[in-house]
Amino acid sequence: MTVRFVTAADDLRPAYDLVIVGAGPAGMAAATEASRTGARVAVLDENPRPGGQIYREITRNQPGARQYLGADYWKGKALGNAFAESNADYAARATVWSIEPADEPRDGERHRVGVTIAGAARMIEAAAVILATGAQERPMPVPGWTLPGVLTAGAAQIALKSSGVVPAAPIVLAGCGPLLYLLASQLIDAGARDMTLLDTSRPVLRWESLRRLPGFLFSPYLRKGLGLLLRTRRRIRVVTGVRSLEILGEDRAEGVRFATARGTSTINASTVLLHQGVIPAINLASAAGCPLAWNAAQRAFQPVTDAEGRTPKRGVLIAGDSAGIGGAQAAEIAGRIVAVAALSDRGLVARDVSAALINRLQRQRQRYFRGRGFLDALYAPRHIFLAPPDAQTIVCRCEEITAGKLREAISLGPPGPNQLKTFVRCGMGPCQGRLCAATVTEIMAAERGTSPADIGTYRLRAPVKPVRLAELAGLPHAPRALKAVTGRDPVDHHLNETELPS
């Protein structure tokens, strides 16, 4: 068996047993596991090749050429090879913009998935859908973050993995979270020079961190994390306790002004890489009608799922970091668990076989969750970077809405982010709130003196990604849709399913 590459929308089959969105660790693992049963599987992936963010270009890169990516990256090689040998249909550069779950799936009823490939849209059906959309970086709006030369740490890592590109020096990495130190280490090994890391994490010796320390000491993260911290601090300047941050420049980034308990300092910078942790990518799950819940430890909304990835929407399951941040190894195991659960629900795997396998996999996954609570507490972002106090700081990049404008609109009394949209259009741009939703919730919660759990987040609907009208017009038109537009019964008036009203 080898994976079947799909390069055009018409090459997709009309229906599948399992449609998987995303080809990161969870998505590849789910497809590999499902293919062993002979199930018809489609993997729809926005990237040009499988791997997701953590294993980006894993099927193309070779250790000899890019050894600086580190041992953890190359662990994905075996998974990438296994995926390549599966019987899945793999569609790269595919944009999934809609999922229409069947409310009460009965025999013969399936979910409908809207996807665009090579400029053509298509609706395909699935007995079950697995969302393995992974994580996204938490927005970090600070003064000057929209200047050229300012990127997220994830964007810099994409360039490094995809093309071996090292940013222009001097480089400033600013924010909090393990990825910041990992990227610094990778850039050092790739030949980057003149780097400074500004750590905005809150003080380490906090009760939330200390009470979770025992679990971390027996986790697989201990040795790796300490080694990464020590190695980075030996080779570049690391400033801890950063309380405020401003990127300086007129036409592009030229420097960074920051403050610590010792005072305010300014350093030169041609490239600024921002990062303050990752949060689940929930837009597609939200648009599919999956309920969301607030994760206080990770300070983010995530879909409601059971231990095997099932959502309250029957036949829609979620795997990996898109269901809660756990890391690449946990995501890979979760992908296998969710695939087995989905196929068991459809009767393609015997219940006793699936139960035994899932129990074994859950024990393996628990090992990677052991130190997660400590990391979440250790790298909790400061509130000043979650809800920027400066009125001129842009929050919504698509619509250029500032923090001051948001606070003015909030004072008028909208009950939540969805109503706030009608006041200032924040979250209505092409990104559909990916770059502002978390910040809007934090600002509104701070202004109301309540928890983000009480505020909520954007409620989305299809299409969740930009799609051209020409693509929608090219879809087959069912009799029910024609009647809704024309007011006439297509059968009575001899209209066929592809006929458009004049």
Range of lowest pLDDT (313-322, 473-482, 483-492): 483-492
Is residue 495's pLDDT more than 60?
no
Structure confidence at residue 502 (pLDDT): 39
Is residue 274's pLDDT more than 90?
yes
Structure confidence at residue 106 (pLDDT): 55
String of DSSP letters for 244-262: EEEEE-SSS--EEEEEETT
Structure confidence at residue 382 (pLDDT): 94
Is residue 438's pLDDT more than 60?
yes
Q: Which domains are delineated in the chain? A: 4-136+279-349 (3.50.50.60), 139-276+373-378 (3.50.50.60), 387-455 (1.10.10.1100)
Mean pLDDT over residues 5-30, rounded? 96
The CA R_g of the chain, rounded to the nearest whole Å, is: 23
Per-residue tokens: 103: 């409310």
For residue range 276-303, list pLDDT tens digits in order. 999 999 999 999 999 999 999 999 999 9
Is residue 28's pLDDT more than 50?
yes
Is residue 194's pLDDT more than 50?
yes
pLDDT band at 472 (very low <50, low <70, confident <90, very high): confident
- Please name the amino acid found at residue 148: P
Residue 382 or residue 102, greater confidence: 382
Structure confidence at residue 256 (pLDDT): 98
Name residue, tokens 């299809």. 462
Is residue 501's pLDDT more than 60?
no
Does the global pTM surpass 0.85? yes
Is residue 426's pLDDT more than 60?
yes
For residue range 233-249, list pLDDT tens digits in order. 999 999 999 999 999 99
Range of lowest pLDDT (67-71, 137-141, 319-323): 67-71
Q: Are strands 255-260 and 244-248 parallel, antiparallel or unpaired?
A: antiparallel
- Residue 437 · residue 420 · CB < 8 Å: no
CA separation for the pair 12, 315 (Å, rounded): 20
Is residue 424's pLDDT more than 60?
yes
Instruction: Return the closest-CA partner of residue 432 out of 296, 284, 328, 310.
Output: 284
Mean pLDDT over residues 15-37, rounded? 96
Is residue 18's pLDDT more than 90?
yes
